[in-house]
């Protein structure tokens, strides 16, 4: 019996994913949620040597304007790592990436076949920025989108560019963001994880990152989802 032929991805896969992402973003803009961020620095033996932690409530107004409310005061015990404006921009825009139609033109995309990811039959899409101008931040990595509705299930990669000069180094870890369905239809980020060793000139530094997105609640409907 001949081997089963591998399923071919739709030729317009990136556009189908981006269209679904535009729908997802419009829906997510109807939700509030809590974002809990933890950044840890570890020594060469894996022992915790410092931590940054903050909690923010993300709120969207009826005019779709995004606002953030810091809950309490951030705890900052980092000594070797310093969080920069680019880090906080990535926490907001790159780790929970939404690849909408108006953002797709910034990227080159390539189908990488199919794979079962997190129990879901998915297409795999490679995403890279077309070009990076000064001050811009982009995603570079892989996206898994379900074959049925083209919802993004998982992304893996890193924020680019790394920012290097003779006076400073601003390095960023590889990360994974996982999404789950909320209210049974749209897939929203539930957590981001990173555990990477950054190669600074002064020596390697291991960084561990976790961002959880919880308590999704729609404005008009009393509906919540809290990932475990």
CATH of the domain at 189: 2.50.20
76: pLDDT confidence band, cut at 50, 70 and 90?
A: very high
For the stretch 116-143, pLDDT in tens is 999 999 999 999 999 999 899 999 999 9
State the Cα–Cα distance between residues 64 and 59, nearest whole angstrom.
9
β-partners of residue 71 are: 55
Q: Report how far apart, in Å, the C-alpha atoms of 135 and of each of 82, 95, 160, 161 are.
A: 19, 17, 11, 9
Q: What does the angle CA 190 – CA 33 – CA 143 come to, to the nearest 5 degrees?
A: 30
In a domain, 7, yes or no: no
> Mind listing the pLDDT tens digit for each residue in 164-211?
988 889 999 999 999 999 988 899 999 999 999 999 999 999 999 999
Does residue 1 form part of some domain? no
H/E stretch holding 96 reads: none
Give the domain range for residue 30: 13-215
Residue 5 included in any domain: no
Please indicate, yes or no, if residue 203 is contained in any of the structural domains: yes
The whole-angstrom separation of Cα 61 and Cα 219 is 9
Q: How many domains does the chain have?
A: 1
Is 73's pLDDT higher than 70? yes
Q: Is residue 183 part of a domain?
A: yes
Pairing relationship of beta strands 186-200 and 120-129 according to DSSP bridges: unpaired
Instruction: For residue 214, count other CB atoms closer than 10 A to its CB.
Output: 15
The model's pTM is 0.90
Does residue 74 form part of some domain? yes
Q: Is residue 58 part of a domain?
A: yes
Please tell me the predicted confidence (pLDDT) of residue 61: 66
């Amino acid at each position: 019996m001949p081997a089963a032929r591998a399923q071919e991805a739709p030729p317009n896969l990136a556009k189908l994913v981006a269209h679904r992402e535009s729908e997802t973003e419009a829906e997510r803009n109807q939700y509030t949620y809590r974002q809990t961020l933890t950044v840890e620095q570890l020594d060469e033996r894996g022992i915790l040597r410092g931590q940054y932690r903050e909690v923010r409530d993300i709120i969207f107004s009826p005019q779709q304007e995004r606002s953030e409310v810091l809950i309490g005061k951030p705890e900052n015990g980092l000594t070797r790592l310093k969080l920069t404006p680019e880090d906080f921009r990535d926490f907001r825009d790159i780790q929970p990436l939404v690849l909408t139609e108006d953002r797709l033109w910034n990227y080159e995309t390539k189908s990488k076949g199919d794979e079962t990811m997190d129990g879901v039959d998915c297409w795999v899409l490679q995403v890279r920025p077309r070009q990076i101008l000064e001050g811009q931040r982009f995603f570079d990595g892989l996206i898994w989108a379900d074959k049925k509705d083209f919802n993004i299930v998982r992304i893996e990669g890193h924020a680019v560019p790394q920012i290097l000069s003779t006076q400073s180094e601003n390095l960023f870890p590889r990360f994974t963001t996982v999404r789950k369905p909320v209210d049974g239809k749209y897939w929203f980020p539930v957590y981001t994880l990173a555990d990477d060793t950054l190669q600074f000139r002064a020596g390697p530094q291991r960084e561990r990152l976790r961002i959880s997105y919880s308590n999704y609640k729609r404005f008009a409907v009393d509906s919540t989802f809290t990932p475990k």
